[in-house]
């Protein structure tokens, strides 16, 4: 069997937990990417997160092949069923992955599995869903909030709840990225525009209200979860990943980009100050 045939045959075999353990032990991977798609997150891990050798896991044969064709290692695996794979890599990435899962609880299980597998940190990034209600009240929506492929529209509170369940996390932060200040942004559609769309096109999506937003709206939300006590690692990751704002810090230290940011707390006054309404 040729090398190409061997690779194609391997891509059609769903790896068991035992297979994955053997794979991780036989290779010096420092990054594992959940839901590797076409390999973009592995490229990001090497370019921006300090990775050198990564492997992607995806349940789609075609996505595994795309990742391999991009020059990265990938394996066919169902990460939603992943059992404990402790200390398998230096870090785990979940980028534009969790929103595709059918439930928040399943996302939480994946976060727990990622934290078990990582020795240093876990990096999460996904679309922003916190503003869906506010925008709908104003006749608007973010186009990715109306995708059939995004059943898990996880908010910052739900992300907080899921990460809070991970007892092994040493410190973690939730961030937002790329503010959307008004309805002219191309990611904003009228609420009755067709689903499963991309950037706004008036000819395709119809007119939309002109509104300057009175509440925070962003394009992305994410988290950095440290699996060891290393403030320098956190500072280094924040410098590389270019988050716009800090939403929450598990240690209560809300200094970010040399500025103090108010921490959400039980007091309603602080929540109102943070979220502006």
Residue ranges and CATH numbers for the domains of the chain are 3-128+149-178+218-272 (3.40.50.150)
Give the list of residues 6+ apart from residue 78 with CB closer than 8 angstroms, or none.
14, 59
| Per-residue pLDDT tens digits for 74-115 | 999 988 877 778 899 999 999 999 999 999 999 999 999 999
Output the CA–CA distances (angstroms, integers) from residue 262 to 37, 255, 271, in the order listed.
36, 9, 9
Q: Is the pLDDT of residue 262 over 50?
A: yes
Residue range 132-151: average pLDDT? 98
Give the per-residue pLDDT at 20.
86
Give me the percent of the chain exceeding a pLDDT of 70: 88
Put simply, whether the predicted model's pTM sits higher than 0.85 gets the answer yes
- Nearest Cα neighbor of 168 from 54, 252, 84 is 84
What residues does 188 pair with on adjacent strands? 142
Q: Any alpha helices (H) in 70-214, and if so which ranges?
A: 104-117, 132-137, 156-164, 202-205
| Per-residue pLDDT tens digits for 204-226 | 999 999 999 999 999 999 999 99
Q: Which two tokens stand for residue 29?
A: 């991977």
Q: What is the dihedral of CA 134, 139, 140, 145, to 10 degrees?
A: 70
| Per-residue pLDDT tens digits for 7-45 | 444 446 888 888 888 888 888 899 999 999 899 999 999
CA distance linking residue 254 with residue 241, whole number of Å: 17
């Amino acid at each position: 069997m040729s090398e190409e045939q061997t690779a194609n045959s391997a891509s059609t075999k769903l790896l068991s937990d035992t297979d994955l353990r053997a794979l991780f032990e036989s290779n010096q991977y420092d990054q594992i990417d959940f839901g590797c798609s076409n390999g973009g997150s592995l490229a990001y891990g090497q370019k921006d997160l300090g990775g050198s050798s990564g492997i992607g896991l995806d349940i789609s044969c075609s996505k595994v092949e795309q990742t391999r064709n991009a020059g990265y290692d990938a394996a066919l695996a169902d990460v939603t069923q992943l059992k404990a794979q402790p200390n398998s890599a230096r870090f785990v990435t979940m980028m534009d992955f969790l929103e595709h899962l059918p439930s928040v609880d399943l996302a939480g299980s994946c976060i727990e599995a990622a934290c078990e597998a990582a020795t240093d940190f876990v990096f999460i990034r996904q679309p922003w869903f916190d503003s869906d209600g506010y925008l709908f009240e104003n006749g608007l929506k973010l186009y990715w909030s109306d995708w059939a492929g995004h059943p898990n529209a996880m908010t910052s509170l739900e992300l907080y709840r899921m990460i809070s369940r991970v007892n092994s996390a040493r410190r973690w932060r939730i961030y937002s990225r790329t503010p959307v200040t008004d309805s002219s942004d191309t990611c904003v559609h009228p609420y009755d525009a067709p689903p499963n769309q991309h950037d706004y096109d008036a000819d395709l999506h119809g007119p939309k209200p002109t509104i300057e937003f009175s509440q925070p709206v962003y394009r992305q939300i994410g988290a950095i979860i440290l699996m060891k006590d290393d403030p320098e690692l956190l500072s280094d990751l924040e410098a590389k990943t270019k988050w716009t704002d800090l939403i929450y810090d598990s240690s209560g230290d809300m200094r970010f980009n040399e500025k103090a940011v108010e921490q959400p707390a039980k007091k309603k006054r602080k929540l109102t100050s943070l979220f502006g309404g």
